[in-house]
Amino acid sequence: MSNEKTMDNESTMELMARAAGQEAPEAQAAPAAPAPKDKPQYPSVALLTCPNCGQKQFKIIGTKGSLGKAIVGAGMFGAVGNMVMDSRSKENFELLPVKYQCLSCKNKFEALPLVAEDEEVLDTPCTIVFHRLGSPVGMAVSQQVFLNGVKIGSVKNKADLEFQTHTKQNTIFVTDQYGVAFPGEYTFTAENGGFVEINYKRKFL
């Protein structure tokens, strides 16, 4: 039996290459599909739980005495820089551990915000206007506004701060200049393209 290839089992590509006096070209791999762009990540505390008992009801103590250093610019979340409408406030972003106390087991712990899950992300961001109403108490001191564990910026007496949220479930709290949280927080469910106004006078009104 002959060891030579017959025309039946010799590929057309080999015959064409031989006629041209060239080696048969190797099969080329199909170009790889472009890697999907990284999806923006948005801060959320909706699924935050006590590491001791797993409950979700907390008292916010603030950032005073936090062991971690602030991450200026909130680099953990690439989209945080787009949350504030006022460009003057964008430099005030800080991501630092927030101290909580569990209302169930009284455990105190620190935590950074979590990344919002896909089903929690709005298709169109909701705009928030935070009004700090005039008060003779602490009128000369700026207060720090936090959205979902991220410091959005400072607001002076009788001033406003405008920003956006990209998540459905939201928590806002306020601290003094030392990072001690004022009692109470404001929680709400944002809607696509919605608009929320918040009045604050050392407590949410």
Q: Write the burial class of residue 130 (CB in 10 Å: 0-12 exposed, 13-18 middle, 19+ buried).
A: buried
The whole model's pTM is what?
Answer: 0.72
Q: Is residue 158 in some structural domain?
A: yes
- Count of domains in the chain? 1
Q: Is residue 87 in some structural domain?
A: yes
Which residue spans within the chain are E strands per DSSP?
43-44, 58-62, 71-72, 94-95, 98-102, 108-111, 114-115, 121-132, 143-147, 150-155, 160-167, 169-175, 186-189, 195-200
- Report the distance separating Cα 106 and Cα 64, nearest Å: 18
Q: Is residue 153 in some structural domain?
A: yes
Q: For each of the chain's 205 residues, which pLDDT tens digit applies?
A: 444 444 444 454 454 445 445 444 444 444 444 444 567 778 899 999 999 999 999 999 998 654 444 544 445 554 444 454 444 444 556 677 899 999 999 999 998 888 889 999 999 999 999 999 987 776 778 899 999 998 888 899 999 999 999 999 999 999 998 899 999 999 999 999 999 999 999 899 8
Pairing of strands 114-115, 43-44: antiparallel
Domain residues for the domain of 98 are 43-200
Q: Is residue 107 in some structural domain?
A: yes
